[in-house]
Amino acid sequence: MRQISIIIPVYNASKYVSRCIESILNQSYKNIELIIINDGSTDNSLEICNKYKNSFSKIQIVSIENNGVSNARNIGIELCTSEYFMFIDADDWIEKNLLYDMSCYIHESDLIVAGFEILYPDMVYSYNIEKTETLSLNEFLDNFDYYYRSTIINSPCSKIYKKSILKDLRFNVNIRLGEDFDFNLKYLDMCKSVSVISGSSYIYDCTIAGTATKIYRTGSFEEILQVNLKGKEFCKRHNVREYNKSLDEYLCLNGIHLLDVLANSTNTFDYKHKESSVLLENQVFRNACKSIENKYGPKTIISKYLCLFNNYLLLFLFFRIKKLLKKMKVASKRIWKIKEGSLQ
């Protein structure tokens, strides 16, 4: 039974970090090293983590100044003493047998990948891998379209990496969007085989408010365009078939999401107009929007055509009105519940 190091970056996670740590300590697979990187938390996350030192001997807790999740993961890589390691985010958790199921294949391949579930406030998405098997890299990439659409290949979580394969590869701390995808593509470039594990035993919690995907940062549009370019270059290197559709679809949908976030931010209209032009006037993005099928809801389709029309004022007004209607809907539900309560 080989030791597996688990790296957890922690930033202001006091409400849920215990759930994450306990899901690891309760694993049926026991040969674990736990590395917690406290990334400058200002709540009592560190105090909560320190309580586990008494009940678990193989634990390292390191506090650093806040510098982002990529930097925290890189420090975790430097600290881990195992050949095999994985990442778990502090707001996520894993089911009891995940590590055992994955560990059965650590001698067979260069990367072990498991499916996962994503929890949203009003829905749950399961991204299962149907069959457990070990594949050559080319066989694994035959399913690139599914792994990319499901974001399985985009995230560093729900995977076991090997330090001997990794060598000097680290997360790029200078990018904030697509850094995980960039890391995985560079790691896959060095792989010969991949084991995929059926089921979805890693649980992503996206019910928590204030996540990074709801914040617009200057330069975000350039970064998602780079994600698209890196994905296409990787696919060309490995002769992946029919990759344009999934990469372009993700670019279009992610671009629309960021435009929505930007429109509803507190920045000035002039700033929003200038930033949005980076995307709206980019031919790669425009071609991506043209290629996307009209299978999505009316809000997405309207957003797509407004992007192609390239009138930011109309796009801005559409996103603001959409946000206002959503607030009104939430408010009406609250009023209805109050009325129901008073009638009982």
Beta bridge partners of 161: 85
Question: 206-220, 288-302, 315-329: which range is least confident on average?
Answer: 206-220
Give residue-wise pLDDT tens across range 114-173: 999 988 888 888 888 888 999 999 999 999 998 998 888 999 999 999 999 999 999 999
Quote the DSSP letter at residue 91. T
pLDDT at 95: 94
Residue 87 has pLDDT above 60, yes or no: yes
Tokens of 224: 């998602």
pLDDT at 59: 93
pLDDT at 157: 93
pLDDT at 71: 97
Q: What is the mean pLDDT of residues 184-210?
A: 89
Question: 151-155, 251-255, 313-317, 336-340: which range is least confident on average?
Answer: 336-340
Which residues have C-beta within 8 Å of that of residue 52, sequence separation ≥ 6? 21, 25, 34, 59
Question: 185-189, 232-236, 288-292: which range is least confident on average?
Answer: 288-292
For residues 131 and 63, the model is more confident at 63
Quote the DSSP letter at residue 178. S
Question: Which DSSP helix (H) or strand (E) runs through 145?
Answer: helix 144-149
Helix (H, G, I), strand (E, B) or coil at 194: strand
User: What is the distance between the alpha carbons of residues 268 and 244, in angstroms, rounded to a whole number?
Assistant: 35
Residue 338 has pLDDT above 80, yes or no: no
Which residues have C-beta within 8 Å of that of residue 250, sequence separation ≥ 6? 148, 149, 227, 228
pLDDT at 151: 85
**Residue 195 pLDDT level (bands cut at 50, 70, 90):** very high
| Phi–psi pair at 27, nearest 5 degrees | -65, 145
pLDDT at 121: 80
Could you count the other beta carbons within 10 Å of the beta carbon of residue 178? 22
Q: What is the mean pLDDT of residues 237-261?
A: 92
Question: 125-134, 202-211, 271-280, 318-327: which range is least confident on average?
Answer: 202-211
Q: What is the mean pLDDT of residues 304-321?
A: 94
pLDDT at 332: 79
Residue 213 has pLDDT above 70, yes or no: no
pTM score: 0.90
Q: Nearest Cα to 269, choosing from 309, 320, 219?
A: 320
**Residue 214 pLDDT level (bands cut at 50, 70, 90):** low
